A and B are shown apart, each in its own frame.
Chain A
Amino acid sequence: MKGKLLRLWRQLFGNSIQAFGVVSLVLLVLLAIAPAKNHFSEWRHYQHSYLHLIRDRSDALTLRRHFQGGIQQIWLPELQVVDRCTTCHVGLKENSLVDVTEQPFTKHPVIPHKLDEFGCVVCHRGQGPATTVSEAHYSTLAWEQPVLPTKYIQSSCGQCHQDDLPGAPLLKEGRQLLAESGCLHCHTVQLHGIALQPTDAPPPLTDIADKTTREWIYAWMKDPQAYAMTAKMPNFKLTDDEARDISAFLIADSTPLQADTLTLSQKSGDPTAGASLYGESFCATCHAVQNAAGNVVGGNIGPELTRVGNKVKPEWLQAWLQNPRVYDSGTAMPHYRFNDQQLATLSGFLMAKSDSDLLSNVHLDPATAEQIKHGRLLVMNYGCASCHQINGIKKPENFAPDLSRIGSKPINQLLFLQGMPHTLPDYISGKIKTPRAFAAGLKMPQFTFTPEQIDALTTALLSFDDRSRTLPLSVMVAHAGDSNYEPAGKAGQLMKDLACFSCHRINGRGGDLAPDLSLEGSAVQRPWLEAFLKSPTTLRPALIRRMPKFNLSDSEIHELSDYIMTVYQSPAIDRDSMPLSGYSAGQVEQGKQLFYSKYGCQACHIVDPKADKGYIGPTLTAVGSRMNAAWIYAWLKDPQALRPGSMEPKWQMSDDNARALTAYLMSLKGSTKQVAKK
């Protein structure tokens, strides 16, 4: 062995000339390493492949002219972007490459931003300055930010856009779910110094013994979705003993309300009357019920009522129906003015909605002091007071981890489940899917999100990343948010009592189920408004969520009408500038022609119930007794100016045509009988 080496040494370095030759050769090879590495680099390979790809295309000359060899870079110091992605992704801006599926040569889909203004990593993440496939796309020891899966790409929009984008529906849904599913009661999210606020309002438990039984609380906590398929409360996976003790504590902790105790005849009345009162009151606008086929039908503003008879005590239900605000001043439920007869009928109807199996297996012995004490401990431990108001227990601060920067959480700080890909999006979605699987003793409850909802939530959470904090304020788009508008005076009190804002939006606050009323005073005629409040009728033929009848007194109707007619006006519309009637027959006839022929309004509206069938817009049979002429004229000229997002398009109608159509519509007074009946 040793002899061999010695011989080799002598052969190579036997004399100085030979030694010089060998050393030079070695040096040459060493020097060649760097240029060779460059020459055989991945990006050169891709650029060659690209040139090969475009060679035989009909637009080869144009593509060749656009092509620039060498390392390409988008440098945007303001956004901290140094992106060399376009070195390999050469065809991003070539719209003619629409038929190419081979990466990295596809064209970039059309988006509202220019590549040169935002670069790549702002949206796609990954490592911009890298020039190899693996370093740019995947996480490395030095760089943990892999490319974001396309599934979650909308999260990147959310870095700057705090407002809702029509092109990012998943992000919008995720943000909504985050706010309404209870996440924000336990987790904090601070964006630019402002904490996101939950939009849901879990009920206070301070007087729960008035409302329900310990047995129901037990069954509910064991499995909320067994009581109501759409229940929002997550499953805390409590043991039997835990549920026993918590229910014992909640009942013992409850203090009776000083509400009027109703002493109604417990006669429930007949169920058909109950069903029709339930229908007439449009309870289904907000509440859902599971039908025989298993489908949940109805609105989702209030809780599902499929088994409400198992839950509430009859006397509580009657008192609640009489005035819900006594129990919960912030409830979305309106205060109906039901008489005693109606209260008995409706509560009897609702109490019959029960499932004999639900509580049949729940047998609880009377609570011991020990159990109550332990129940209190459990309530503190599970953070029940984060969502619910509970006597003697304060809402815990920072109960769950802050999620303000969850979108940039380093992977080395995460604990993954076995078999789970080690990426942040997989971690977040896995955590939402099965929160307790990650370690023993975790407190986050099990939610019932669909796979799509989990993707949406993950998208929203990924948008809370470090980049969104370092981007210049000039690119931030703020969220307008709800205003805290409060109507004033007696009418304001009344509107609060009737929970108008649960469905209607006024001056930037309220729901979107029913029309925005901010300009209602300019739109409608007072006699119609009063008749409508007395007995709401449906204006749109195909509507299933409707305005309930509140049984308002005449003085209440006056109060409301006064307020709406004087306060909710558009400064641009002078109600008295056009008369309510007295248009010439010629003008009316001309309007009718325009209505049916030129503009084809009957496609969406009904004037003659026998001939017209349009299902989209409101029925116009009596529009002349409902709307103001000046409003109709302004509406015809530009519907979106009065109600942004209205389906009715702007027609670019001439003043003459708009006047004639207004004259025709104002001539539609409805049958006098109909008006008298109101």
Chain B
Amino acid sequence: MNRAFILIALITLAGCSHKQPAAAPAKAIAFGSAMVESSGGKQIAPAGTLLPQPVVVQVNDEQGNPVTGSAVEFSGPHGVVFDPANGTTDSSGQLTTNVTLGNGAGRYELVATTYDKSHKRIDLKLQEIALDYQQGLGLKLNQHYCERCHNSESTPERVSNLDNLDVKPHAFTDGDYLNKMTNDDLTSIISHGGPALNQSPQMPPYGYTLSKSEIQALLAYIRAIADPPGFGGGLTYVQR
């Protein structure tokens, strides 16, 4: 009687459990002594969405050579999803994961963890930025109107104009400079051009082209991506 009861209870419990068994952590066959970021840090994506590029980390030994087969585990604040969440490094010592950010806008601190020979924990921290609706709109406006001059990175599809200007425009990530400017200052220079703040006329006025809410969106975006973060730089989510 008792045994049957336990059996039923077990079956019921098993049936109720919706949780998936957590994937078994990858087994390490080699150990490194340091971990570096190969690519994928400091990316910007709308909250809750996939980062445009995967995050790639690399495990190295003492000599700085890549280590194949060491186990790496990714973790992050609540809501962040890694695909895959863990694995072993490939022949070039790297592990790649696709990252979906959490639902709130702000900075997300991601951690990649591996262990060295003596089981000492090695953590690598990366930061990604999630944008809310308004900031995402600002990102789009930036791509259309601003970044040809304000971003020094050139691609064949989008050649940067930054180096062609007499006074080099500040990158929107330039927190050291932009954090000192008030919202009113930024709004003013976007709306009325460089001369509004006694700066280069090569920054044209966009106040008659963009609507008030569009300029606000742009401002929200600039504040969201400042590095280092400034006022209104938003929240930083770290793992609890």
Contacts and interface: CB of A to CB of B under 8 A. Distances in A.
Say whether A associates with B: yes
Nearest to A604: B161
Contacts of A648: 204
A599 B209 contact: no
A169 B20 CA distance: 33
Interface string A598-609: 111011100000
Contacts of A604: 161
A616 interface: yes
20 contacts: A106-B104, A109-B47, A110-B132, A112-B133, A112-B213, A149-B48, A150-B48, A151-B50, A151-B100, A169-B136, A170-B49, A603-B164, A603-B165, A613-B163, A615-B164, A616-B148, A616-B161, A647-B148, A648-B204, A649-B145
A654 B209 CA distance: 16
Given A544-B156, A647-B144, A652-B205, A109 B48 contact: no
Interface of A: 98-99, 101, 106, 109-112, 149-151, 153, 166-167, 169-170, 297, 419, 451-452, 455, 542, 544, 597-600, 602-604, 613-616, 640, 645, 647-652
8 nearest A-B pairs in the assembled complex, by CB-CB distance: A150-B48, A109-B132, A613-B164, A603-B202, A542-B159, A600-B201, A600-B202, A650-B208
Given A151-B50, A604-B161, A616-B161, 14 more contacts: A98-B235, A112-B213, A149-B48, A167-B137, A597-B201, A600-B194, A600-B204, A603-B204, A615-B148, A615-B164, A649-B145, A649-B208, A651-B204, A651-B208
Nearest to B232: A98
Which has the most chain B C-beta neighbours within 10 Å: A106, A110, A599, A602? A110
Nearest to B102: A150
Which has the most chain A C-beta neighbours within 10 Å: B103, B163, B237? B103
Contact of B52 (A106, A452, A544, A649): A452
Contacts of B201: 597-600
B149 interface: yes
A647 B103 contact: no
A170 B163 CA distance: 32
B207 to A, nearest CB: 8
A150 B204 contact: no
A651 B133 contact: no
Which has the most chain B C-beta neighbours within 10 Å: A150, A153, A544? A150
Which has the most chain A C-beta neighbours within 10 Å: B104, B160, B206, B213? B104
Given A167-B133, A616-B161, A150 B47 contact: yes
A98 B105 CA distance: 10
Contacts of A640: 209
A45 to B, nearest CB: 20
B57 interface: no
Nearest to B138: A167
B187 interface: no
Contacts of B204: 599-600, 603, 648-649, 651
Interface residues of B, number: 49
B129 interface: no
Interface of B: 20, 46-50, 52, 83, 98, 100, 103-106, 132-134, 136-137, 140-141, 144-145, 148-149, 156-157, 159-161, 163-165, 194, 200-206, 208-209, 213, 220, 232, 234-235, 237
Given A99-B235, A111-B133, A615-B159, A649 B46 contact: no
A544 B134 CA distance: 32
Contacts of A170: 46, 49
B157 A167 contact: no
Nearest to B130: A150
Which has the most chain A C-beta neighbours within 10 Å: B47, B49, B52, B156? B49
A668 to B, nearest CB: 19
A647 B161 CA distance: 13
Contact of A109 (B50, B134, B163): B134
A419 B164 CA distance: 55
A575 B89 CA distance: 67
A603 to B, nearest CB: 4
Given A101-B237, A166-B137, A451-B98, A651 B205 contact: yes
Contacts of A419: 20
A167 B202 contact: no
A534 B148 CA distance: 32
A89 to B, nearest CB: 13
Contacts of B52: 452
B49 to A, nearest CB: 5
Contact of B209 (A101, A110, A650): A650
A542 B156 CA distance: 8
Which has the most chain A C-beta neighbours within 10 Å: B105, B165, B209? B209
B161 A615 contact: yes
Nearest to A542: B159
Given A101-B235, A650-B208, A110 B133 contact: yes
B192 to A, nearest CB: 9
Nearest to B98: A451
A652 B235 CA distance: 39
Contacts of B209: 640, 649-650
B202 to A, nearest CB: 4
Which has the most chain B C-beta neighbours within 10 Å: A109, A419, A455, A604? A109
Contacts of B149: 603, 616
Contact of B133 (A109, A544, A602): A109
A626 to B, nearest CB: 22
B205 A614 contact: no
Nearest to B159: A542
A599 B161 CA distance: 17
Given A419-B20, A647-B145, A110 B134 contact: yes
B117 to A, nearest CB: 34
Contacts of B203: 600, 603
Contacts of B157: 544
A613 B201 CA distance: 15
B100 to A, nearest CB: 6
Given A101-B235, A597-B201, A600-B200, A645 B220 contact: no
A614 B100 contact: no
Contacts of A544: 156-157
Contacts of A614: 161, 164
A544 B157 CA distance: 7
A276 to B, nearest CB: 19
A492 B201 CA distance: 44
